[in-house]
Amino acid sequence: MNTKRTAQLVLGVLLGAAAYGTCWAQKAEGLASTPQMGWNSWNKFACEIDERLIRETADAMVKQGLKDAGFQYVNIDDCWQGQRDADGNIQPDPKRFPSGMKALADYVHGKGLKLGIYSDAGATTCGGRPGSRGHEYQDARTYASWDIDYVKYDWCNTPSMNAEAAYTTMRDAIAKAGRPMLFSLCEWGMSKPWEWAGQVGHSWRTTPDIYNCFDCEFSPGLSTGLGVLRILDKQAGLRKFAGPGHWNDMDMLEVGNGMSEDEDRAHLSIWAMMASPLILGNDLRSMSESTRRILTNRGVIAVNQDKLGVQALRVLADGPLEVYAKPLDGGQWALMFLNRSNQPADVHHDWKKQVLIDDLNNRSADFKQTVYRWSDLWSKKTGDTSAKLEARLAPHSVLMLLLTGPAKP
Ligand code: GLA
């Protein structure tokens, strides 16, 4: 082949790839312009799932006010799969999902909600069910034919596979299937997906799985589970990679699964501040009134869903007390004081000594110049920054403020 022909071919391939990228971007546009909100079966139910659970969860999402609060995806995690048929088409487990996935999608859509599904880039999933390796285009077509809205794509059983290539293949398969489906990467942060996944998926997991505790770690054998604070600490340096349509995913929530109320409030606040997807992980059918109230806190959710899509930065670390700031649309800020300790901690915050600077986004708030009003998103107390902020934080709790300014010139 002569050099000119080779150059033409290379150019053609590059243009083709660019066009596909644009095409995907257009298709996927708007699907996660703010972090996705929904529910997933794994944290609470693992493989004990069936179509009744999914229908009842959709019912509860509406009845408990979660849909009104912004939660919309009902996501089936691992273990829904049965076998592939003679043509290689994946079938749901006939005992657990006898009506089939299309009927389930119709039911969920009938509630004004969306249905998500799970697969894995390897030949088998983490739960040992058929994965999508070698069936990517076929599976994406199947999901589209079932009217699925969301695909979570896991990373078990992928020895020597390249993550970027494997996830790009599935992205292209979803684009080709012709139905907009949110693409959620679950690769646990191993190949630094934040560096390459902005053009591949709508979100990428940044860590191993969450473990249901505030400040602990669980490492049985090869797998690791991380508590809330451990996951938070692993977000250091990642904020510049997050933004509308592409989010750092801190994993599904454990709110309502046994931590204390203060811990649950702190957990949700942290995820909101960090602009992580908010995917509930508890049993929505039987949650307590206090869990329901935590999960439907509109002010905290609004911080997560703010349209600027900027992840919080840590602006202060003083022993167990940390302060995180998130610039919001319209010149507002969210400020979270976090007590990491299992002892109470006192806040004596002199606003006059604090300037908030988000150098990545060229935003700042100078409390020497400007008085901001604040409202506490949990207790609903209000005040302004002309006076020192004095508060006692219970162990593992947060104070989360919405700052609106200027109150006075
Ligand atoms: C992995 C994922 C989890 C869950 C399980 C299912 O561990 O990280 O979120 O999907 O697999 O087997």
Cis preceding-peptide flag for 406 (omega within 30 of 0): yes
Q: Classify 226 in phi/psi space as left (phi over 0), alpha (psi -120 to 50) or beta.
A: beta
* C-alpha 154 to ligand 1 mean position (Å): 7
Q: Within the chain, what is the greatest distance between any pair of CA atoms?
A: 76
CA–CA dist 107, 100 (Å, integer):
11
* pLDDT for the residue 224: 87
Write out the DSSP string of 231-257.
HHHTTTT-GGG-BTTBEEE-----TTS
Question: Does the beta carbon of 187 lie inside 6 Å of ligand 1?
Answer: no
Q: What distance in angstroms lies between residue 191's CA and the mean position of ligand 1's atoms?
A: 17
Q: Of the residues 151, 154, 204, 251, which should be mutated to test ligand 1's pocket, given the most ligand atoms within 8 Å of the CB?
A: 154
CA-CA distance, 325 to 343, in Å (whole number)? 23
DSSP string, 103-155: HHHHHHHHTT-EEEEEEESSSB-TTSSB--TT-HHHHHHHHHHTT--EEEEE-
Q: Give, for ligand 1, the residue of 45, 188, 209, 254 to mutate: max count of ligand atoms closer than 8 Å to Cβ.
A: 209
Ligand 1: which of 39, 40, 41, 42 to mutate, most ligand atoms within 8 Å of CB?
A: 42
Where would I find the H helices in 195-320?
228-233, 261-273, 289-295, 298-304
Q: Is 126 in the pocket of ligand 1 (CB under 6 A)?
A: yes
308 Cα: distance to centroid of ligand 1 (angstroms):
30
Cα torsion through 311, 258, 216, 239, rounded to 10: -10
Poorest-pLDDT segment among 219-233, 310-324, 346-360, 387-401: 219-233
Residue of 49, 78, 153, 254 to test ligand 1 pocket, by largest number of atoms within 8 Å of CB: 78
Tokens representing residue 230 in the block: 């451990």
CA distance 101 to 114: 12
Catalytic residues: 154, 209
Q: What are phi and psi of 23, to 5 degrees?
A: -60, -45
Ligand 1 centroid to 72 CA: how many Å? 21
Label residue 21 by pLDDT band (50, 70, 90): low
Closest Cα to atom 3 of ligand 1:
209
Q: 120: Cβ below 6 Å to ligand 1?
A: no
Strand partners for 326? 334
Q: Is 183 in the pocket of ligand 1 (CB under 6 A)?
A: no
Name the percent of the chain lying above pLDDT 90: 89
Say if CB 116 and CB 32 are below 8 A apart. Answer: no
What is the structure's pLDDT at 20?
53
Question: What is the distance in A from the centroid of ligand 1 to the CA of 153?
Answer: 9
- Say if ligand 1 is within 6 A of residue 24 CB: no
Any atom of ligand 1 within 6 Å of the Cβ of 77: yes
Q: Report helix, strand or coil for 318.
A: strand
pLDDT class for 6, splitting at 50, 70, 90? very low
pLDDT at 223: 79
Q: How far apart are CA 198 and CA 204, in angstroms?
A: 9
List the one residue out of 91, 155, 94, 75 whose CA is nearest residue 123: 155
Q: What is the pLDDT of residue 14?
A: 47
Give the Å distance between the CA of 303 and the centre of ligand 1. Answer: 27
With cut-offs at 50, 70 and 90, classify the pLDDT of residue 15. Answer: very low
pLDDT tens digits for 152-197? 999 999 999 999 999 999 999 999 999 999 999 999 999 999 999 9
Share of the chain above pLDDT 70, in %: 92
Q: How far is the CA of 114 from the centre of ligand 1 (A)?
A: 20
Distances (CA, A) of 60 to 70, 112, 286, 390: 14, 13, 9, 39
pTM of the model: 0.94
Ligand 1 and 127: CB distance under 6 A: yes
Quote the ligand 1 centre to 126 CA distance (angstroms): 6
Does ligand 1 lie within 6 Å of residue 209's CB atom?
Answer: yes
DSSP for residue 379: T
Closest alpha carbon to 282 in 272, 292, 274, 273: 292
217 DSSP β-pair partners: 226
**Run of H or E residues at 16:** helix 3-28
Q: Which of 69, 77, 109 is nearest to 96 (CA)?
A: 77
Distance from first CA to last CA of the chain, Å, rounded?
72
Domains of the chain: 3-15+311-404 (2.60.40.1180), 24-304 (3.20.20.70)
Helix, strand and coil in the chain, % to nearest 5: 30, 25, 40
Residue 221 is predicted with a pLDDT of 72
Question: How far is CA 207 from its chain centroid?
Answer: 12
Count of beta carbons in the 10 Å neighbourhood of residue 13? 10
pLDDT at 207: 98
- Nearest protein Cα to ligand 1, atom 8: 209
Under the banding of pLDDT at 50, 70 and 90, the label for residue 121 is very high
- Please report the atom of ligand 1 found closest to the CA of residue 186: 8
pLDDT score, position 321 = 98
Nearest atom of ligand 1 to the alpha carbon of 126: 12
Nearest CA to ligand 1 atom 12: 126
**pLDDT for 22:** 55
Task: Report the C-alpha gap between 1 and 14 in whole angstroms.
Answer: 18
Ligand 1 pocket, 139 CB below 6 A?
no
Q: 300 to each of 180, 182, 289, 401, 402, how far by Cα in Å?
A: 28, 23, 17, 9, 9
